[in-house]
Structure 1
Amino acid sequence: MSRTIKFAQAGGPEVLEFVETQVRAPAPHEVRIKVKAIGINRAESMWRLNDYIEPVKFPAGLGYEAAGIVDAIGSEVTGFGVGDEVNLIPSFSMNDYGTYGEVIIAPEHAVVKHPKSLSYAEAASVWMMFVTAYGALIEDAKIGEGDYVIIPAASSSVGLAAIQIANYAGATPIALTRTSGKRQQLLDAGAKHVIATEETDLVKEVMRITDGKGARIAFDPVGGPTLTKLLSALSFNGTAYIYGALSPETTALPVLDMIAKMTSVKAHNIWVTSGDETRRKAAVEYVLTGLESGALKPVIDREFTFDEMVDAHRYLEQNGQFGKIVVTV
């Protein structure tokens, strides 16, 4: 028997319930895992609210990331064995699988070997943040030396991953934060420049930093009115990747300005990378190499216990964290 977290209706953190279940044997291409740690993501909060990129089928489970130990394998699984330490990379629908449980079932394609240098909590934190940023910045934008990258919501886990990946690629990360309260933390995390958007003119400051040329890339999870400013801060032929909608306000596009500067807005999500076997393997190799070299590092804001999952979701929705929230099991 295993405790698993489910919810029967959309709502706040209080709709999450502990359910005692008998975890089935894995199907031929599945793995059963005893969970040691769970990474908590904004996507799961949106899923709980039934406000995500696909509709929820109730009663529902949730969770994209976990680290743990293989408990059983399906008859056709060849890459893993019982007792292996493993992680899950987000590459499945939460209507089909979830990680919020003491023992879980996962598809074989989503399972990766556990990086030996990381704790379970650290390993549960890295895959969503680094693969999401990798997909836009490395796989698609191919950032490198001489590029400036604007990173809104820079203190989020994906924002911090984008800072690290920009530095790893030789580009210059420009971190955005609302006030100066997290300026030093962001500089310590690798940001070359930090702009407090409620205290400074965003466009003017980016133009000052880039000698009037603008940044080639913006990597934005917010949308709303700030997107117009981001587009104005881009260089000719610059691109804004939008991978979230944290702003509740309308996201408008300055079409004539975009035409004049030939700027682009591209929607982005992790599935572009993790949903394709070749791309997923390349991303995993990139992240593992970065972790081994020290160029990429997990950033954990706070740990909760499994019994505190509701509190973990409440904390997530306060939007005050610096890095990843992790739940230990």
Structure 2
Amino acid sequence: MKAVVMSAAGTPDVLEVRDVPMPKVENNADVLVRLHAAGVNPIDTKLRSRGNFYPDRSPAILGCDGAGVVEAVGSGVQQFKPGDEVYFCKGGLGGPRGNYAEYAVVEEWSLAKKPASLSFAEAAAAPLVLITAWESLYDRAQLQAGQRVLIHAGAGGVGHVAIQLARLQGAEVATTVGSPEKAEFVRQLGATVPILYKERDFVEAVMEWTGGEGVDVAFDTVGDDTFFKTAPAVKVYGDLVTILEPKPEFGSLKTARLRNLRISLELMLTPMMEGLLDAQRDQAKILSQCARLFDENRLQIQLSHTFPLEEAAAAHRLLETGSMTGKIALTMG
């Protein structure tokens, strides 16, 4: 089968299209999926530029997100059969198991039925950002109806999904964006207060919106100094969730401590990296619930660009320019 592989870390040019052995059903829980599309995420570009998590398993196929049709199943598989359309987040962290390829083998517990209302490319763009936003808002921050939440980079991959999930929970949303066009986009998703962060201090805007109290929950998808600058925008005893590692060279936790903030870290890859099967099943359940929301027209994914599998390097270059609206996917023809 054709796959995009990397043998060393570097620029997008290290991504090469090669013929590689097709994966096979080897275990009872294995499901062979003929991939129609793969999502492209920032984790992919980071692994490509810095090196993957398993450097001894080279060459590696990137791509955590996939969507396709079941081709074959192991003897113990009960929930899926050949012909089923599925989507998932599994693989792509190093070695031969990734989704920049024509086929992938995925364990049954990581799969969910693809939303019928989405194309394969749209479905492939969704899993990682859906699980990240869901776990951050619902599990880490325990967001409640009537609360106010600040979401950074609301027009981005995680951000645009997080706005919708917050609104579905009955929360009000303020979000930072980089342009008037993105401000209009997030309004359409349900954001009450788009903040053009290049023109106005977001803490000032939040305090004006909340009458000087601060938001109940802040969700940081940007990291670096943005994480530390967000603390004054959160109410005393509020929640601050980040998907990036807080690094001391960018700031201090003094304000967060004074405000008694509950700080949570979110990495949706942990169940995969640590081999936590129950947690992987829980994430598949999130995808199943989101599939229902998609098909009820209560949730949408913004797919901004698609590239043929062979143009994975171009997809990486586009993603690394920053300021993306929505998501990118690769298609397999």
* TM-score scaled by length of structure 2: 0.90
- Answer yes or no: is 1:296 the counterpart of 2:299: yes
Deviations 1:149-195 (A, max 9, x none): 11112111110000000111010111112344522122123211111
- Counterparts of 2:50 and 2:316, CA distance in 1: 15
1:187 alignment partner in structure 2: 187
Q: How does 1:258-297 map to 2 (within 5 A)?
A: 258-271=256-269, 275=276, 276-277=279-280, 279-297=282-300
- Counterparts of 2:55 and 2:214, CA distance in 1: 40
- Answer yes or no: is 1:86 the counterpart of 2:86: yes
2:19 alignment partner in structure 1: 20
- Counterparts of 1:265 and 1:126, CA distance in 2: 26
- Counterparts of 1:157 and 1:285, CA distance in 2: 19
Deviation at 1:135, TM superposition (A): 0.5
8 Å CA contact 1:5, 1:16 repeated in 2: yes
8 Å CA contact 2:54, 2:93 repeated in 1: no
Q: How does 1:1-329 map to 2 (within 5 A)?
A: 2-28=1-27, 29-50=29-50, 54=53, 56-57=55-56, 58-90=58-90, 93-95=93-95, 97-244=97-244, 250-255=249-254, 257-271=255-269, 275=276, 276-277=279-280, 279-329=282-332
Deviations 1:211-258 (A, max 9, x none): 11101111112222222221010001112111036x999332232x22
* TM-score scaled by length of structure 1: 0.91
- Counterparts of 2:296 and 2:231, CA distance in 1: 34
Judged with a 3 Å threshold, the aligned counterparts in structure 2 of structure 1 residues 78 and 309 are, in CA distance, closer, same or farther, namely same
Judged with a 3 Å threshold, the aligned counterparts in structure 2 of structure 1 residues 20 and 133 are, in CA distance, closer, same or farther, namely same
CA RMSD after TM alignment: 2.2
Q: Secondary structure at the match of 1:118?
A: coil
Deviation at 1:322, TM superposition (A): 0.8
Q: Secondary structure at the match of 1:203?
A: helix
8 Å CA contact 1:73, 1:80 repeated in 2: yes
- Counterparts of 1:307 and 1:7, CA distance in 2: 13
Using CA pairs under 8 Å that are at least 6 residues apart, name the structure with larger relative contact order, 1 or 2. 2
8 Å CA contact 1:228, 1:253 repeated in 2: yes
The amino acid that maps onto 2:207 is M
- Counterparts of 2:66 and 2:284, CA distance in 1: 18
- Counterparts of 1:94 and 1:210, CA distance in 2: 45
Deviation at 1:117, TM superposition (A): 1.7
Q: Secondary structure at the match of 1:191?
A: coil
The amino acid that maps onto 1:77 is V
Judged with a 3 Å threshold, the aligned counterparts in structure 2 of structure 1 residues 226 and 97 are, in CA distance, closer, same or farther, namely same
Deviation at 1:325, TM superposition (A): 0.5
Judged with a 3 Å threshold, the aligned counterparts in structure 2 of structure 1 residues 251 and 265 are, in CA distance, closer, same or farther, namely farther
Judged with a 3 Å threshold, the aligned counterparts in structure 2 of structure 1 residues 278 and 35 are, in CA distance, closer, same or farther, namely closer
Judged with a 3 Å threshold, the aligned counterparts in structure 2 of structure 1 residues 137 and 197 are, in CA distance, closer, same or farther, namely same
Deviations 1:110-163 (A, max 9, x none): 222122222111111221111110001112322122211111121111100000
8 Å CA contact 2:144, 2:171 repeated in 1: yes
8 Å CA contact 1:47, 1:56 repeated in 2: no
The amino acid that maps onto 1:70 is V
The amino acid that maps onto 1:49 is S
The amino acid that maps onto 2:111 is V
8 Å CA contact 2:62, 2:92 repeated in 1: no
The amino acid that maps onto 1:252 is G
Instruction: Give the unaligned 5+ runs of structure 2.
Output: none
- Counterparts of 2:130 and 2:23, CA distance in 1: 31
Q: Secondary structure at the match of 1:216?
A: strand
Deviation at 1:300, TM superposition (A): 0.7
Judged with a 3 Å threshold, the aligned counterparts in structure 2 of structure 1 residues 96 and 266 are, in CA distance, closer, same or farther, namely farther
8 Å CA contact 1:202, 1:229 repeated in 2: no
- Counterparts of 2:290 and 2:212, CA distance in 1: 33
8 Å CA contact 1:223, 1:251 repeated in 2: no
- Counterparts of 1:72 and 1:315, CA distance in 2: 35
- Counterparts of 2:51 and 2:219, CA distance in 1: 21
- Percent identity of paired positions between Structure 1 and Structure 2: 27
- Counterparts of 1:240 and 1:285, CA distance in 2: 27
